[in-house]
């Protein structure tokens, strides 16, 4: 049984708490990598991940199965990233209750730290030069291997209206720009 099948079975049985735990264990490490890549600041990404965990924990019982759980989770993560990047968040810093979701988020962050430390510094330097929207597109497609339809679904959660063809074209332009940047930095040969 896959992680998603387990989550859905637990939801159907009415065990929302176990379903949320299974969801965070199955998708939490990938979501944390995604948030760290997109936000480029470990502390801000940790805030976003905690917010993601709280939102996913409370929203999961209402999951409509209109998309894959993974897509749904990344959509929540993108909204959490947008929230913590908001000036109002930084000014007031919402205080989250310490709950099961927060404790589990802390556990996932700790277990993922070693893997995250292995990321290439040079690639991170290139990524830091990208806009948050371009960073998000790159992470969703390359790091998380989401389909074009899933990428559109995640982006659509933030209010963007686009098509898979438009996102593919934007991604092609982004790849060309990254290749130019890599050549300029001497990371690849001309």
How many beta carbons lie within 10 A of that of residue 188, not counting itself? 11
- Its sign, for the CA torsion 133, 138, 140, 143, is negative
Q: Is residue 163 part of a domain?
A: yes
Highest mean pLDDT among 53-62, 114-123, 135-144: 53-62
- Rounded to an integer, the average pLDDT of 155-172 is 85
Say how far apart CA 164 and CA 160 lie, in whole Å.
Answer: 12
Lowest mean pLDDT among 107-111, 133-137, 156-160: 107-111
What percent of the chain has pLDDT above 90? 46
Query: What phi and psi, each to the nearest 5 degrees, are found at residue 122?
Result: -65, -40
Q: Which tokens in the block code for residue 149?
A: 């339809």
- Total domains present in the chain: 1
The answer to whether 67 and 156 have CB atoms below 8 angstroms apart is no
Confidence (pLDDT) at 119: 42
Q: Is residue 24 part of a domain?
A: yes
**pLDDT over threshold 60, residue 92:** no
- Rounded to an integer, the average pLDDT of 152-176 is 86
Say how far apart CA 39 and CA 126 lie, in whole Å.
Answer: 14
- Rounded to an integer, the average pLDDT of 115-141 is 75
Confidence (pLDDT) at 151: 92
Confidence (pLDDT) at 27: 94
Q: Is residue 63 part of a domain?
A: yes
| Domain interval for residue 32 | 3-184
**pLDDT over threshold 90, residue 118:** no
Q: Is residue 125 part of a domain?
A: yes
How many beta carbons lie within 10 A of that of residue 16, not counting itself? 15
Q: Is residue 168 part of a domain?
A: yes
How many beta carbons lie within 10 A of that of residue 55, not counting itself? 17
- Its sign, for the CA torsion 29, 30, 33, 36, is negative
The answer to whether 72 and 63 have CB atoms below 8 angstroms apart is yes
Confidence (pLDDT) at 155: 86
Q: Is residue 58 part of a domain?
A: yes
Q: Is residue 190 part of a domain?
A: no
Q: Is residue 189 part of a domain?
A: no
Say how far apart CA 35 and CA 53 lie, in whole Å.
Answer: 12
What percent of the chain has pLDDT above 70? 77
């Amino acid at each position: 049984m896959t992680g998603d099948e387990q989550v859905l079975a637990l939801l159907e049985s009415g065990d929302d708490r176990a379903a949320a735990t299974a969801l965070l264990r199955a998708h939490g490490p990938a979501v944390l990598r995604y948030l760290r890549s997109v936000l480029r600041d470990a502390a801000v990404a940790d805030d976003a991940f905690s917010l993601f965990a709280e939102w996913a924990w409370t929203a999961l019982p209402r999951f409509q199965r209109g998309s894959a759980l993974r897509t749904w989770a990344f959509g929540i993560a993108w909204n959490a990233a947008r929230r913590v990047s908001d000036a109002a968040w930084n000014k007031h810093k919402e205080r989250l209750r310490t709950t099961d979701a927060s404790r589990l988020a802390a556990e996932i962050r700790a277990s993922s730290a070693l893997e995250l430390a292995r990321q290439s510094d040079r690639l991170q330097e290139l990524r830091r030069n990208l806009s948050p929207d371009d960073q998000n597109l790159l992470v969703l497609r390359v790091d998380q291997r989401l389909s074009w339809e899933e990428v559109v679904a995640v982006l659509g959660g933030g209010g963007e209206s686009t098509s898979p063809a438009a996102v593919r074209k934007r991604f092609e332009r982004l790849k060309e720009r990254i290749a130019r940047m890599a050549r300029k930095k001497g990371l690849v040969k001309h």
